[in-house]
Chain A
């Protein structure tokens, strides 16, 4: 077996373990409720089992990193597949840190499926071993990217705790704006599953459809779609048989392969909506939030609020160190300026400002608890925006990853 194959297998093992861990943690949280009438168990034993599974999965992913490193000849964070996978490792590390402090199972119940979704999302990007272009040939690549993603991983845990808080406190007995937005957040996560599923299916079918278009550099090029084209390239000419396009992507989408990525987003939303619809059918029409609300009924809301806040308190300096300071030091070396207002840089700064605002908001009365939890959701959206949309819509120096 080649190193690449070993690394892929280790990643798959972790992926399966995290799915398993999710189930174990969910039972450990819900179990409290099931046994309410008899003897109350605190789900401690199951929780520890879930944690052990997670740790094994984490080491499996660490194994993935080292084998992939060997195969790459450089630290494996140079393209979207590798970076996104690495982010999932850091999310799990963030979870392990928080679990060791708080020993809380409901965090695992939400953190693990998010890691699963991130791995699935990563796995549909091209997985070839790529050499490093000159700008990336620096030790700072490893230092900068590992610190940023560790920071983002811990900040994601703030979102996880915030989400548990919202699932717990939002009154599901009647429909409201709050229940709507909570469903919306869940739908967003399901769309990531939709993305992985749609891409996975068409990849397995070997679907291909080609267009001729003028790319971001102004050159005529061929663009290959691996899922049917709903949105074709702007002024593109179809070269092969295949579906669509139904309409054209707007001309200002000028990132690398932007129309193709835009098309994928549309598919993700469709896939997400279909899966969401099926889940609602299975739940006989009940909101997903309402069902999860029953499961997390025994969760202590002030504790979730504190974990969410604590994750920001721990993650914010780590993110700033990696995403602003190390980034600036490296940019000075590679691009001759430590700050250049490149879109990715700006979005790192936006993330910084956002969490700075979060920390200041908490100083004012009444911003603890639910409002703070919603802020942690927005924070996660900003991090995901920087990961997904900045590469998609806005071309910049970071367009390779």
Chain B
């Protein structure tokens, strides 16, 4: 099906070739006034050659740089709009996203929400855009890499006259001692670290060809990053759990399948010293400034078979301090200090007194999370907790009840038995109330202070994709540096009809190659070649001004 094009130099080029792979002769009609378009060496790209079937059309569409740039710009605009109002994940806790955007930002907010900008990065159209961008990266790279590779492999030392003439840098000098000059040129260019090859009457000096592969390397890196993003959706690759753990508590770490337990000994919040001579001024302006958030913890592993529901026997692994910027790390997991609550109610203390609160008969402390039922105060004084309402209120019938298990507003019904009242007295105790339920109570439970404790908010993470992202990013960066910090420079010399022709091409950094050429022409004693592009700009301006 495909037709080969045989150039006058004898090289067989694939269908669609623009410049002969071997000698560079333009194989298609071209504008004699314009410089050669050296992109991809004028090689035969599939996208520029076939346009018949649907596959051709899709291929051509995705391989186009214009389409690629358009996709980049569309993604750019989308994510820029996505920062106008906060994303779903950043709206205040407890706000309803359905009403939040409209209430806060009016009609614009409502449009924002309707179009899915509130959860942009997970919206189907954004994912499709990214998918198209990924496909474009793959297709565009394949479309260019193989023909380019082939063309650079097949290039010959002797180049066609028209190829040389139409390079941006080109010059001729009359000469009588051609071979001798080529010998000298070879030496000079080798000093400049060029790889020099020679044929009869011609020379090719080349350097930094590997930089041509930079774009393909960096596109591979981008594909690895995109693959990592897709892998996140596979269960088990990515664990992300939050937990609240109070001081003194031991809990299984969520997401570890009960393979690890953690005890929170203490949560510590420290602030900078107000008297600190260095920071005094700033603290005065800003109020107090936090120095650190820290949870002192111990990590455990269960031993032996665990019985469902029961806390297993734990083996201590190590003590650690979790701070911001310094997570606890073990077995691929990371535990982060993410949040905290200070001074949560923990225990309520009471003193048993007579009604006048003058005589005391002992003390008791009620754990609000796990209250004991019986308290023996000694000498025959006993207290029994008969009812406990952690989050007390009066229900519709006017009876005491609890809203939740969290001790936001604890209330109790106590039975007190004493040597002189063996049948006991009943009283209702809540914050700021103390009512006798039985008649003629002689004793009273008097509030004697609270014990509080802090709560640490931790995040448990295990992310196998992090490394894939990282490797992808590194490949990308290496590819970009390879393509950007080095350039593919070539200098051609040829002896034609008593003249020495010099032309040169680089894919970037003309300043650099000009310096190399200046060194070459200096050592050969010939004039520097002309920059035909600069000349064109100058002539155009002259024409405009005259």
- What A residues does B80 contact at CB under 8 A? 346-347, 350
Across the interface, do B281 and A129 meet the contact criterion of CB distance under 8 Å? yes
Q: What is the CA–CA distance of A353 and B534 in the complex, to the nearest angstrom?
A: 31
Residues A349 and B79 in contact in the complex (CB < 8 Å), given A129-B282, A314-B484, A336-B459 = yes
Nearest residue in A to B533 (C-beta to C-beta)? A302
Q: What is the CA–CA distance of A349 and B78 in the complex, to the nearest angstrom?
A: 12
Across the interface, do A353 and B75 meet the contact criterion of CB distance under 8 Å? yes
- Stretch in B201-209, B381-389, B473-481 with 4+ CB within 8 Å of A: B473-481
- What B residues does A394 contact at CB under 8 A? 83-84
Of the candidates B104, B474, B481, the one having the most CB atoms from chain A within 10 angstroms of its own CB is B481
Contact with A along B443-483 (1 / 0, CB 8 A): 00000000000000001010000100110011011001100
Across the interface, do B484 and A313 meet the contact criterion of CB distance under 8 Å? yes
Across the interface, do A302 and B531 meet the contact criterion of CB distance under 8 Å? yes
Contact with B along A336-359 (1 / 0, CB 8 A): 111011010011011001101100
Nearest residue in A to B283 (C-beta to C-beta)? A131
- Stretch in A30-38, A200-208, A225-233, A316-324 with 4+ CB within 8 Å of B: A316-324
Q: What is the CA–CA distance of A113 and B470 in the complex, to the nearest angstrom?
A: 39
Across the interface, do B72 and A353 meet the contact criterion of CB distance under 8 Å? yes
Contact with A along B74-95 (1 / 0, CB 8 A): 0110011011111101100000
Across the interface, do A336 and B327 meet the contact criterion of CB distance under 8 Å? yes
Contact with A along B45-75 (1 / 0, CB 8 A): 0000000000000000000011011001101
Across the interface, do A341 and B87 meet the contact criterion of CB distance under 8 Å? yes
Q: Is B267 an interface residue (CB 8 A)?
A: no
Nearest residue in B to A315 (C-beta to C-beta)? B484
Which B264-312 residues have a C-beta within 8 angstroms of A? 272, 276, 278-279, 281-283, 285-286, 289-293
Across the interface, do A131 and B76 meet the contact criterion of CB distance under 8 Å? no
Across the interface, do B289 and A252 meet the contact criterion of CB distance under 8 Å? no
Across the interface, do A317 and B484 meet the contact criterion of CB distance under 8 Å? yes
- Tell me the smallest distance from the CB of A84 to a CB of chain B, in Å: 18
Which single member of B37, B293, B327, B476 contacts A134 (CB below 8 Å)? B293
Q: What is the CA–CA distance of A357 and B74 in the complex, to the nearest angstrom?
A: 11
Residues A73 and B278 in contact in the complex (CB < 8 Å), given A338-B469, A365-B37 = yes
Q: Is B348 an interface residue (CB 8 A)?
A: no
Q: Give the number of chain B interface residues (Cβ < 8 Å).
A: 69
Q: Is B121 an interface residue (CB 8 A)?
A: yes
Across the interface, do A310 and B79 meet the contact criterion of CB distance under 8 Å? no
- What A residues does B65 contact at CB under 8 A? 360, 363-364
Q: Identify whether the interface residues of A are mostly helix, strand, loop, or mixed.
A: helix
Q: Identify whether the interface residues of B are mostly helix, strand, loop, or mixed.
A: helix
Across the interface, do B291 and A131 meet the contact criterion of CB distance under 8 Å? yes
Q: Give the number of chain A interface residues (Cβ < 8 Å).
A: 61
Across the interface, do B83 and A313 meet the contact criterion of CB distance under 8 Å? no
Q: Is A332 an interface residue (CB 8 A)?
A: yes
Q: What is the CA–CA distance of A343 and B528 in the complex, to the nearest angstrom?
A: 52
- Tell me the smallest distance from the CB of B224 to a CB of chain A, in Å: 13
Q: What is the CA–CA distance of A101 and B512 in the complex, to the nearest angstrom?
A: 9
Q: Is B39 an interface residue (CB 8 A)?
A: yes
Across the interface, do B290 and A354 meet the contact criterion of CB distance under 8 Å? no
Across the interface, do B480 and A316 meet the contact criterion of CB distance under 8 Å? yes
Residues A137 and B324 in contact in the complex (CB < 8 Å), given A131-B291, A320-B480, A350-B80 = yes
- What B residues does A128 contact at CB under 8 A? 281-282, 285
Contact with A along B92-132 (1 / 0, CB 8 A): 00000000000011000000000000001100000000000
Contact with A along B21-40 (1 / 0, CB 8 A): 00000000000000001010
- What A residues does B325 contact at CB under 8 A? 134-135, 137-138, 333-334
Across the interface, do A357 and B82 meet the contact criterion of CB distance under 8 Å? no
- Tell me the smallest distance from the CB of A379 to a CB of chain B, in Å: 12
- What A residues does B461 contact at CB under 8 A? 336-337
Across the interface, do A71 and B278 meet the contact criterion of CB distance under 8 Å? yes
Across the interface, do B82 and A346 meet the contact criterion of CB distance under 8 Å? yes
Q: What is the CA–CA distance of A203 and B131 in the complex, to the nearest angstrom?
A: 52
Q: What is the CA–CA distance of A376 and B348 in the complex, to the nearest angstrom?
A: 67
Across the interface, do A133 and B289 meet the contact criterion of CB distance under 8 Å? yes
Nearest residue in B to A73 (C-beta to C-beta)? B278
- What B residues does A380 contact at CB under 8 A? none
Q: Is B190 an interface residue (CB 8 A)?
A: no
- What A residues does B474 contact at CB under 8 A? 325
Which single member of B105, B121, B334, B510 contacts A336 (CB below 8 Å)? B334
Which single member of B39, B469, B477, B480 contacts A363 (CB below 8 Å)? B39
- What B residues does A133 contact at CB under 8 A? 289-290
Nearest residue in B to A369 (C-beta to C-beta)? B537
- What B residues does A346 contact at CB under 8 A? 79-80, 82-83
Across the interface, do B279 and A130 meet the contact criterion of CB distance under 8 Å? yes
Q: What is the CA–CA distance of A130 and B280 in the complex, to the nearest angstrom?
A: 9
- Tell me the smallest distance from the CB of A107 to a CB of chain B, in Å: 13
- Tell me the smallest distance from the CB of B136 to a CB of chain A, in Å: 11
- What A residues does B533 contact at CB under 8 A? 302
Q: What is the CA–CA distance of A354 and B80 in the complex, to the nearest angstrom?
A: 11
Nearest residue in B to A367 (C-beta to C-beta)? B69
- Tell me the smallest distance from the CB of A367 to a CB of chain B, in Å: 10
Contact with A along B415-443 (1 / 0, CB 8 A): 00000000000000000000000000000
Across the interface, do B537 and A301 meet the contact criterion of CB distance under 8 Å? yes
Q: What is the CA–CA distance of A334 and B510 in the complex, to the nearest angstrom?
A: 44
- What B residues does A73 contact at CB under 8 A? 278
- What A residues does B105 contact at CB under 8 A? 252
Q: What is the CA–CA distance of A102 and B511 in the complex, to the nearest angstrom?
A: 8
Nearest residue in B to A343 (C-beta to C-beta)? B83
- What B residues does A126 contact at CB under 8 A? 285
- Tell me the smallest distance from the CB of A138 to a CB of chain B, in Å: 4
Across the interface, do B289 and A131 meet the contact criterion of CB distance under 8 Å? yes
Across the interface, do B281 and A350 meet the contact criterion of CB distance under 8 Å? no
Q: Is B374 an interface residue (CB 8 A)?
A: no
Which single member of A300, A349, A350 contacts B534 (CB below 8 Å)? A300
Nearest residue in A to B66 (C-beta to C-beta)? A364
Across the interface, do B278 and A129 meet the contact criterion of CB distance under 8 Å? yes
Q: What is the CA–CA distance of A394 and B484 in the complex, to the nearest angstrom?
A: 34
Q: What is the CA–CA distance of A343 and B121 in the complex, to the nearest angstrom?
A: 13
Q: What is the CA–CA distance of A347 and B121 in the complex, to the nearest angstrom?
A: 14
Q: Is B369 an interface residue (CB 8 A)?
A: no
Q: What is the CA–CA distance of A346 and B83 in the complex, to the nearest angstrom?
A: 8
- Tell me the smallest distance from the CB of B217 to a CB of chain A, in Å: 12
Q: What is the CA–CA distance of A24 and B39 in the complex, to the nearest angstrom?
A: 41
Nearest residue in B to A251 (C-beta to C-beta)? B104
Nearest residue in A to B476 (C-beta to C-beta)? A320
A-B pairs with the 8 shortest C-beta distances?
A134-B324, A336-B336, A313-B484, A130-B282, A353-B76, A128-B282, A138-B325, A343-B83
* A-B residue pairs in contact (CB < 8 Å), sample of 24: A126-B285, A128-B281, A129-B278, A129-B279, A130-B279, A131-B279, A131-B283, A137-B325, A306-B511, A314-B484, A314-B485, A317-B481, A317-B484, A320-B480, A328-B469, A329-B470, A333-B325, A336-B327, A340-B89, A346-B82, A347-B83, A357-B69, A364-B69, A394-B83
Beyond the given A325-B470, A334-B325, could you list 18 further A-B residue pairs with CB under 8 A, ordered by the A residue number? A102-B511, A128-B282, A130-B279, A131-B282, A131-B289, A134-B324, A301-B537, A306-B509, A314-B484, A317-B477, A328-B469, A329-B470, A333-B327, A336-B334, A346-B83, A350-B76, A353-B73, A360-B68
